[in-house]
Structure 1
Amino acid sequence: MELRELRVFLAVAAERSVSAAACRLRVSQPAVSQTVAALEQQVGAELLVRSSTGVMLTEAGTVLAAEARAVLARYDQALVTVGRFATAGDSLLRIGVPLEFPPTLLPNALKALSGSDPGTRTTVRHLSSAAQLDALRDGELDLGLLRTRPPDRDLDAIEVVEEPLGVLLSASERPGGPDGVRLAALAGLDWVGFPRADSPIWYDEVTAVLRSHGLDPGPASAASESLIPEVKFAAVSSGRAFTFAPEHWAQPLPEGIIHVPLVGTPLIRRTWAVWAADSRRRDLGRLISHLESASS
């Protein structure tokens, strides 16, 4: 049972609605339903009573909600308490970010950090998930924002954002209906993908989903080819290609290119905040807490 799951459950309990909780958390409704279902499986009891007007907590759900609040409060307190051991010289936080990170999430968290820890300076570097992981292992980053949760036991991680992905298409080639396009309907178009070396696990997940819908991912991009927005736009504008992008993308779309939702939400891009498990920095703990707050 993860802290993220407890936060999702508490959002559903507070909103009395799965769809309202999804809107509040800025994730898809299926993602919220899957999280609640996973919790019910873990505890072996029904947590919600669902009806046409919303949801209500069962007796087990009421107990879990109370325990979840206590656990999260204790977690926040633990971050503060352990952070007191940070040394006075730790005044610089080195942060890594991937391409296409939600535009307001990190700025909002850093703004909150400037209020709670005015003596902490930050540097932000754009790095692929793989490069960030190497930098974390080598002690060259204090916090990474990765597309996958690393398996390393000496790294801690918490999911900070989920983004349902749609597709960018040429406006002249739009298939599908008003609710979006099915991924299988894009067969025959080339996928404009990122290099597998950037994030191998996420790449393998994306290509597996493509194949399961009858699409050929094509050859992998070279490690030196970064998938910047200009590359996506140029490829898609030809009318012979598509690429994935979240609905609330920071980049303005050029004329002739449109964002189309994917029916069934087959792909959700997750980003994890990752840091050294033995870190005792109070400002880092607070930044992580600010990231969680900014994403909820």
Structure 2
Amino acid sequence: MVRLMEIREMRAFVAVVEAGTMSKAARQLHLSQPALSQTITALERRLGLQLLVRTSTGVRTTDAGATLLGEARAVLARHDQALAALARHTTTGVLRVGVPLELPPELLPSALARLAAAYPETRVQARHLSSVAQVAALRAGELDVGLVRERPPGPDLDAVLVVAEDVGVLLAADLAEKLGSPVRLEDLAGLEWFAFARAGSPAWYDELAAILRSHGLDVGPEVPEEQRLIVELKIPAVNAGGAYAFAPPEWPYPLPDTVRWVPLAGTPIVRRTWAVWPAASHRRDVAEFVAALEDYRAD
């Protein structure tokens, strides 16, 4: 018996067929290629059908895949149309928000306070997710607003820049005193970068890695995709004296006396955060929340 397919699986399948290659579709969906390939393989296994023929130059549909393509496109169009139609009647309810690590401490409280004043019946559900996971959830209809480190491409999502932070560096206190303030990126040579997994935010990781390399720093091996960044681990890693970590000036975690935040000379690294939401959304509480986030940057 064929089980029901998830909307995200249909979107993934259609994206692969339309892109022609797994790698191109993965970039468009902001997913890692192995994760996308696993999604398609799992779908084929569950249906008991081969949907795609993989070749050295790309993919093409089988007869079953061609049938699914037409049906999936129709289902997705109807799904998106239904969400848009319902959204026109929705001013209150549940606002599902994706949240990354290390937001400015006042960003969400100020936006939520304004939302509560305008729409007191709206309940907010926050989920800590990577940028890639948030974009996938937005496209699957599982989030209403995301706060991401890289602006997603495509006309299906709208975005506005809400935060631009001049990133500094966390160092062991004795090392920070030795290097002075502000510290030059070049002076971090020989230390290990406490990095995050590229799969969670590829564009931001690549931008950051390119800046480090341009200053003669070794970015080291990529962090495994399954290894989540735990903010609390930054402190012991830096405290040992052989590593550094990047953090914004309003880092929302307490620092011990043995660790210092130091600005970077020339402010070479700027971390941006975008508010992202479905372009077809007509929810007024979403619009109010996004406007509050945008006004935070203006202030």
Superposition TM-score, scaled by structure 2 size: 0.69
**1:182-221 map, 5 Å:** 182-221=184-223
Native 8 Å contact 1:168 1:242 kept in 2: yes
User: What residue number does 1:289 align with?
Assistant: 291
**Quick one: which amino acid aligns to residue 260 of structure 1?**
V
State how far apart, in whole Å, the 1-side matches of 2:265 and 2:204 are.
Answer: 20
Decide whether the 8 Å contact of 2:92 with 2:121 is kept in 1: no
Q: Does 1:150 align with 2:157?
A: no
Partner of 2:271: 269
Compute the displacement of 1:247 (Å): 1.1
- Provide closer, same or farther for how the CA distance between residues 221 and 292 of structure 1 changes in structure 2, counting only shifts above 3 A: same
Aligned partner letter, 1:176: L
Equivalent residue number for residue 16 of structure 1: none
Q: Bigger shift: 196-205 or 285-294?
A: 285-294
2:180 to 177, 182, 199: 177
Q: 1:223 is matched by which residue type in structure 2?
A: E
Counterpart CA distance in 1 for 2:265 and 2:248 is 14
1:189-230, Cα deviation, whole Å (9 max, x unpaired)? 000000001100000000000000000000011122222222
Q: 1:124 maps to what in 2?
A: 126
| 1:101-120 equivalent positions in 2, closer than 5 A | 101-120=103-122
SS in 1 for 2:167: strand
Distance in 2, Cα, partners of 1:177 & 1:235: 20
Q: Which has the larger radius of gyration?
A: 2
Report Cα offsets for 1:81-129 as digits up to 9, x if no partner. xxxx731475111000001111110111011000011121110010010
SS of 2:179's equivalent in the other structure is coil
- Which amino acid letter does the alignment assign opposite residue 179 of structure 2? G
Q: Could you say what secondary structure the match of 1:93 adopts?
A: strand
CA contact (8 A) 1:182 1:262 kept: yes
What is the number of equivalent residue pairs in this alignment?
214
Specify the SS of the correspondent of 1:242.
strand
Distance, in Å, in 2 between the alignment partners of 1:217 and 1:265 is: 19
Residue-by-residue CA offset, 1:106-155 (whole Å, 9 max, x unaligned) = 11101100001112111001001011011011110000000000002110
Instruction: Give the Cα separation in 2 of the matches to 1:88 and 1:212.
Output: 49
In structure 2, the residue matched to 1:136 is 138
Distance in 2 of aligned mates of 1:152 and 1:194: 25
* Deviation, structure 1 residue 294: 2.2
Mapped to 1, the partners of 2:282 and 2:265 lie a distance apart of 44
Is the CA contact (8 Å cut-off) linking 1:181 and 1:261 kept in structure 2?
yes
Alignment of 1:29-178 (within 5 A): 86-88=88-90, 90-174=92-176, 175-178=178-181
* Equivalent pair of 1:96/1:144 in contact (CA under 8 Å): yes
Identical positions, percent: 54
TM-score calculated relative to the size of structure 1? 0.69
Do residues 235 (structure 1) and 221 (structure 2) align? no
Q: CA deviation at 1:177?
A: 2.9
Give the counterpart letter for 1:245 in structure 2.
A
1:255 aligns with 2:257: yes
On the 8 A contact 1:99/1:228 being kept in 2, the answer is no
The CA distance in 1 between the partners of 2:238 and 2:179, in whole Å, is 17
8 Å CA contact 2:172, 2:238 repeated in 1: yes
**What residue number does 2:36 align with?**
none
